[in-house]
Amino acid sequence: MAPRLKITILTLFPRMFEGFFTSSIMRRAVEKGTVEYRLVDFRLWATDRHRSVDDLPYGGGAGMVLMYDPLARALDELGTAGKRVIYPSPSGVLLDQSLAHELSNERELLFICGHYEGLDQRIIDEYVDDEISIGDYVITGGEVATMVIVDSVFRLIDGVISSGSLDEESFADGLLEYPQYTRSGPSCPKEVPHVLLSGHHGKIESWRLEQKLLRTMERRIDLLETASLDAVSRKKLNELKESMAKGIGENGRDESC
């Protein structure tokens, strides 16, 4: 059977991906044939005797820019038809869960890993469909950013992980996830919130919702503007806001380990 997702990665450092594709859930997806990947060192398309792939920026300035020719030749030879071509870059649109979902519907993704001061803009103009940033900070190259994007995407493909886990996790409903607890030994100095041991599913659900709302209000208030809250969540949010306004305090705060 054809793989559900084919990934091609153009990189100067293919070894950086070894652990990523051969460990954990990704390894299983590759072994099952759900994901197929190909790492391509685009230095192979350099033509001068130094195998150069970068040069000084026109107009001056620090750093080096990846040249048009080696990358264009690599892309033409590999072919881009039917592939969504992604260039991870701090100047891209921000990766979020909805973009990860959108990309998980594609059959073929091709990543171009930049380095130094990035790619010649003409490569981006001619070949790139999406320039994507993984956050408002700068890392040394596109490899780690590519792994982040690929990881956020492949796990959403049917059968890669259990759908129950996807329903419960952060951003599934636009909110952060509630805290989790499991059995611990005597070295843990704090107790588990009692409600979780009550066996009362309604109360547990209500506590978890409260924790999600409190966390989101505290850490990511911006998410509350776009979260798709159902009637129960909206009611709970209003109650929390009211009790905070009255100065009752954070009644539902997580007080355990």
Contact residues for ligand ADE, defined by CB under 6 A: 88-90, 133-135, 137-139, 142, 145
SS3 139: coil
Residue 47 main-chain phi, psi, to 5 deg: -115, -20
Closest CB 66 distance from ligand ADE, rounded Å: 12
Nearer to ligand ADE, 58 or 137 (CB): 137
Neighbour-count burial for 168-179, b at 16+ CB within 10 Å, e otherwise: eebbebbbbbbe
Closest CB 11 distance from ligand ADE, rounded Å: 12
Nearer to ligand ADE, 142 or 252 (CB): 142
Nearer to ligand ADE, 87 or 207 (CB): 87
Nearer to ligand ADE, 103 or 237 (CB): 103
Closest CB 39 distance from ligand ADE, rounded Å: 18
Distance between CA 122 and CA 126 in Å, rounded?
6
Closest CB 119 distance from ligand ADE, rounded Å: 11
Q: What is the 3-state secondary structure (H, E, C) of 220-237?
A: CHHHHHHCCCCHHHHHHH
Q: Which residue is nearest to ligand ADE (CB)?
A: 145
Residue 207 main-chain phi, psi, to 5 deg: -65, -45
Contact 153, 103 (CB under 8 A): yes
Question: Which of 70, 17, 18, 29 minimizes the C-alpha distance to 153?
Answer: 29
Closest CB 90 distance from ligand ADE, rounded Å: 4
The alpha carbon dihedral of 166, 167, 168, 172 has a sign of: positive
Contact 86, 127 (CB under 8 A): no
Closest CB 115 distance from ligand ADE, rounded Å: 9
Q: Which residues contact 185 (CB under 8 A, 6 or more apart)?
A: none
| Mode of pairing for the β-strands spanning 65-66 and 84-94 | unpaired
Distance between CA 250 and CA 211 in Å, rounded?
10
Nearer to ligand ADE, 97 or 133 (CB): 133
Nearer to ligand ADE, 143 or 210 (CB): 143
Distance between CA 141 and CA 42 in Å, rounded?
15
Nearer to ligand ADE, 29 or 132 (CB): 132
